[in-house]
Chains A and B, each alone.
Chain A
Amino acid sequence: MIRWPPDLRPLVRRFRSARPFPHLVIDGVLSRDDHARLVADFDREPHVLVENEIYLHLRSSDPPMQPALRAFHAALGTECSTVSTICALPLTRADGSAYVYLPGHYLLPHSDSRQSEGRAIAYAYYVDAPKRGGELELFACARRGGEIVRTRSARKIAPRANRLVLFAVSDLALHQVREVLDGARTSIAGWFYP
């Protein structure tokens, strides 16, 4: 289902050298038909509004319920060895949920690092793009005495349809989903684990 380039070496280099922390953006990872099935099933997927100090958005169950979304989720699980090669980390499984960000929805700056959960690589696959906003923003951090004392926006990644983003999880991998200003941002996102 997921279409990787035959030669992974350029992806390995891009991932490793990306700043402010290792990440990779790959466009057109699904065929047109697979992407269309995902778009159609996304509308039928139940989502609930969830909110806490850092986020406000709609989220599905993990894994999602609709067949095309489940197929994508399963495909990620079977692609662990490819993602392992790209990210130079041993990965064995992936989880994920479907998300909808409507105007005013956001995910504020945070790190995905949770020692107890073992998240190694985060991913986001954009099913459809909003008209404005919803970029994935990566921050560069300066640390003193173990604490982050300065942060700077270092890269904004547009949530284009059929785009996959991978990034390494660490305490310093601060990122956010900027507020959606117009339209709906739909995605499937989660983590790969050792």
Chain B
Amino acid sequence: MNAPFVMPALGPVLPELVMAVGALVLVLVGALRGEKSYGLVNGLAFVTLALAAAALVTQPAGKVLVFGDSFVVDGFARIMKAIALLGSAVALLLSVDYLRRENLTRFEYPILIVLATLGMMMMISANDLIALYLGLELQSLAAYVIAAIHRDNVRSSEAGLKYFVLGALSSGMLLYGASLVYGFAGTVSFPGIAAALKGQSGLGVILGLVFVSAGLAFKISAVPFHMWTPDVYEGAPTPVTTFFASAPKVAAMAMMVRVFIVAFPGIIGDWRQIVVFVSIASMALGAFAAIGQRNIKRLMAYSSIGHVGFALVGLAAGSAQGVNGVIIYMAIYVVMTLGTFAIILGMRRGDTYVETIDDLAGLSRTQPFMAYAFGAILFSLTGIPPLAGFFAKFYVFAAAIEAKLFALAVIGVVTSVVSAYYYLRIVKIMFFDEPAESFSPLTPTLKAVIGVSTAAILFFWLAPAPLVSAANAAARSLF
């Protein structure tokens, strides 16, 4: 009667297993050692992330499907997971000093970061709608909690509550869309959906696709589902914002690429309209709404909305070249974002962290290293050659032109020019305004992160080959 139980192959999921077991060990250590165990748990969280990364890079190449084909490990999954792990690890590293100063050293923080990262890895590897939803929910639920980790602070609680309510709404939309897609395709597996649709799109499938895209757009904070981003980024403690702006974006973008490219390849004409609209709207809003911002975290929120729009240009192309562009864009975006937030975390006078742009006035005279590094990062965010940000934009726009999306590429370049205004205004304030009161000296961690990310941005053009060829191979693994 009973079918014989076949042990699923666990080798391909070793990185996820390491993360899950690591998180459970961290919970136990924290629970047994009590409130004082933050330092130990934090250290062990780094060990967990490092072990998972080691397990990830030693995986053999090629595509493997496990757990009844609901979990896929391919080149695309591996590179996106590597970027997500890097983003999480650096965000965790940047948080240590801030949490100690603000008296937030709770051992749950690193545990939730590890669990959120595990959720991201599950999202990236999801090969059916159920796996996608479970990974997404694991990541989001942990994110809601860490947004409100500073629970005695009104703005942090507000950020957590807003993120939770809107996130629950978007999860609902995603689930509704997923149920429609399942109803009309008869299967939840991505390749199965592609096979069932046979390139034909019915009204029901399109409706499901629209709702799924709405849920996904919320997670990458693309217009018109971006409303939560500025408030959450501003309200959450800065290391938490650093985390939100880096790794989860990569994972959600990877998930979106996989859903569209693997599950709906036959009806590209239908979803391309959605992606083009979302992309244009995000780029435009990111460019124009950031102009009036005084708070640097809010400005970075709008900037990240804009950058998501640029990355979506690559997805709109729908080709291997486009996916290649998305991977390169997200990798460079994460490096730039981590550098920016390391600088924002360096904006500290004594024990108070400041967040307005005017506090940066005359930084070139008080803290030349910080000012020149930030200047380089801002030029890169604008997309000025030969910095890394230029190459990021170059690859997505090249893919869009290859796919004959000329209007999209032109609008992208125009909004990129508009966004130059607010990036360069910060450079002007740093270099030409009267110096404000000097910041406290940078901690060695911040200095190292700023130094490494600036160096990566400045010298990317010398050796772009490793990232570009890896992204190329990864993109081709999807087609």
Do A and B actually bind?
A: no
Listed in ascending order, the chain B residues whose CB lies under 8 Å from chain A are none
